[in-house]
């Protein structure tokens, strides 16, 4: 290395360090200014009722202030109350009048202003009623099961024939994306599906990134991906409308068809931007979480032979009771997967894939004895609830048997939300995951290349190598 090169590298390193220090100082000053402004504006009486916390810092919650359950901080450019205990989470989630949705503007920009994360309560209830049966209803799940089953079987067979190791998580995300696209946009050509998949990858990296709209940053790439997705979905919508105008029949009705045709009590139909925002949200939520949960459930079972053996025995028993004339799994078989359901719930608790959600107070509200001022943001930290040893003994131990017995107390398990905004696709997601684990347990083995691989935590917890592994077929099973 030449002397000039070394000096140049040292210079740029020094500049970068100075810029980083300056950014930290400016951030601290801004936080303290905001802390003073927002708390001073409340007045002494209201200020005294606030939860503990330091709005000039990112609060460390239980570890610093004790188990009060509510803590104040300044996050996403807003005064914020962090909620970390079941009773308080339940109160906030069940009260849609006092607590409206309060997602960061950057997230709403990416997912859409007319999606479920942004629309008012009444509109949410109307659209949820519209979409619930086509997604989670008995007839819908029965109709989707055959395609899910076929897709899982073909995916596992293809992966097991690959000579090289594969990124298990990447392949699962591709599989779940194909499934959700078939459900919401059946008949989409391969080119459109591949383009949408690329866009969703960039979108997800930007959802929980800093909202810096400059080249090279994840949020900038996510904005570009969002624009491309809207163009792709608009193109499909235009094709559907043109085909309908010409009287061409649809071979099957999917979610896009239903959203195009739906009318309210006044005969008004959804605008294209509302349909597109709904599809962006559902297509994203419908494959990201499912793919990650499936990967972690597979990994945890392989790491715990006793759990693996118990789950496999249940699936073998289900297989023995399937009639010879039955092709593939039925919804009745799915309902029998009780222990596998516990494995999935424990995976969701253990990893807390969706670790936080956002609300905003519409008026002064008292929660657990503390004031949440009108206009302040509220963050509900599901991960804190799911890893609280007072709620879940030995929370760092993967133990599906903790879910035996009666359902958990409301607010102690928040994987799919709670109350009026419960995830509308929770049954479909669990069906997808269960079908994959059923086939995997009966016939395949996962051998990771880097079992101790370090983790990346945003946008979802995952190994940095995306679970690089070899999929081996160890037995054959049939119906």
| Tens digit of each residue's pLDDT (9 = 90 or more) over 265-285 | 778 788 898 888 888 888 877
Q: How far apart are CA 229 and CA 221, in angstroms?
A: 12
Could you tell me if 365 and 70 are in contact, meaning their C-beta atoms sit under 8 angstroms apart? no
Of 359, 363, 360, 364, residue with least CA distance to 50: 364
More confident site: 4 or 451: 451
Residue spans per domain, the chain: 3-107, 114-186+252-336+423-473
Residue 35: the pLDDT is 62
Q: Which of 122-126, 206-210, 364-368, 443-447 has the lowest mean pLDDT?
A: 122-126
Task: Identify the band that residue 1 occupies on the pLDDT scale cut at 50, 70 and 90.
Answer: very low
Select the more confidently predicted residue: 208 or 468.
468
In total, the chain counts a number of residues equal to: 479
Q: Let me know: does 126 contact 264? Beta carbons within 8 Å.
A: yes
Token pair for 229: 């997705």
pLDDT digits (tens, 9 = 90+) for 302-346: 999 999 999 999 999 999 999 989 888 999 999 999 999 999 999
Average pLDDT, stretch 194-203? 89
**What share of the chain in percent tops pLDDT 90?**
46
Local confidence band at 249 (pLDDT 50, 70, 90 cut-offs): confident
List strand residue ranges (DSSP E) for 146-221, in order.
Answer: 166-167
In 3-state terms, what secondary structure has residue 158?
A: helix
C-alpha distance from residue 153 to each of 35, 84, 361, 443 (Å): 55, 40, 47, 10
CA distances from 422 to 35, 111, 333, 352 (A): 33, 18, 25, 16
- Based on the number of CB atoms within 10 Å of its own CB, is 32 exposed (0-12), middle (13-18) or buried (19 or more)? middle
Residue range 114-186+252-336+423-473, CATH number = 1.10.630.10
């Amino acid at each position: 290395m030449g002397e000039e090169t070394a000096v140049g590298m040292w210079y740029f390193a020094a500049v970068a360090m100075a810029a980083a220090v300056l950014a930290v100082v400016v951030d601290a000053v801004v936080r303290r200014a905001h802390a003073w402004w927002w708390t001073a504006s409340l007045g002494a009486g209201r200020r005294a009722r606030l939860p503990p916390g330091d709005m000039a810092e990112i609060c460390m919650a239980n570890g610093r202030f004790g188990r009060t359950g509510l803590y104040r901080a300044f996050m996403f450019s807003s005064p914020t109350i962090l909620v970390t205990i079941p009773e308080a989470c339940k109160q906030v989630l069940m009260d849609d009048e006092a607590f409206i949705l309060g997602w960061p503007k950057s997230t709403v920009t990416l997912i859409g202003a007319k999606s479920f994360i942004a629309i008012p309560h009444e509109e949410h209830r109307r659209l949820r009623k519209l979409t619930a049966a086509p997604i989670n209803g008995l007839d819908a799940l029965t109709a989707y099961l055959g395609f899910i089953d076929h897709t899982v079987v073909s995916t596992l067979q293809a992966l097991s024939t690959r000579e090289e190791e594969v990124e298990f998580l990447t392949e699962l995300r591709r599989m779940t994306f194909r499934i959700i696209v078939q459900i919401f946009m059946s008949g989409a050509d391969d080119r459109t599906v591949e383009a949408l998949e690329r866009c969703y990858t960039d979108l997800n990296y930007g959802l929980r990134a800093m909202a810096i709209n400059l080249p090279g940053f994840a949020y900038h790439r996510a904005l570009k991906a969002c624009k491309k997705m809207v163009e792709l979905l608009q193109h499909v919508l235009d094709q559907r409308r043109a085909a309908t105008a010409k009287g061409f029949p649809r071979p099957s009705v999917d979610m896009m068809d239903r959203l195009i045709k739906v009318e309210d009590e006044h005969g008004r139909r959804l605008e294209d931007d509302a349909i597109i925002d709904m599809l962006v949200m559902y297509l994203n939520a419908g494959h990201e979480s499912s793919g990650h949960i499936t990967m972690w459930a597979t990994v945890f079972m392989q790491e715990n032979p006793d759990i693996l053996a118990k789950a496999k025995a249940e699936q073998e028993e289900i297989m023995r009771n399937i009639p010879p004339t039955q092709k593939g799994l039925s919804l009745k078989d799915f309902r029998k997967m009780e222990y596998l359901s516990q494995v999935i719930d424990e995976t969701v608790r253990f990893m807390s894939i969706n670790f936080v959600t956002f609300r905003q107070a519409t008026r002064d509200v008292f929660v657990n004895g503390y004031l949440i001022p009108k206009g302040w943001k509220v963050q509900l930290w599901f991960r804190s609830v799911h890893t609280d040893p007072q709620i879940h003994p030995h929370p760092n131990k993967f133990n599906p048997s903790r879910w035996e017995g009666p359902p958990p107390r409301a607010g102690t398990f928040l994987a799919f939300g709670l109350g009026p905004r419960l995830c509308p696709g929770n049954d479909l997601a669990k069906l997808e995951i269960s079908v994959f684990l059923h086939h995997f347990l009966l016939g395949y083995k996962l051998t990771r290349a880097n079992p101790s691989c370090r983790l990346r935590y945003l946008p979802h917890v995952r190994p940095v190598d995306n679970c690089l592994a070899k999929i081996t077929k160890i037995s054959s099973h049939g119906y």
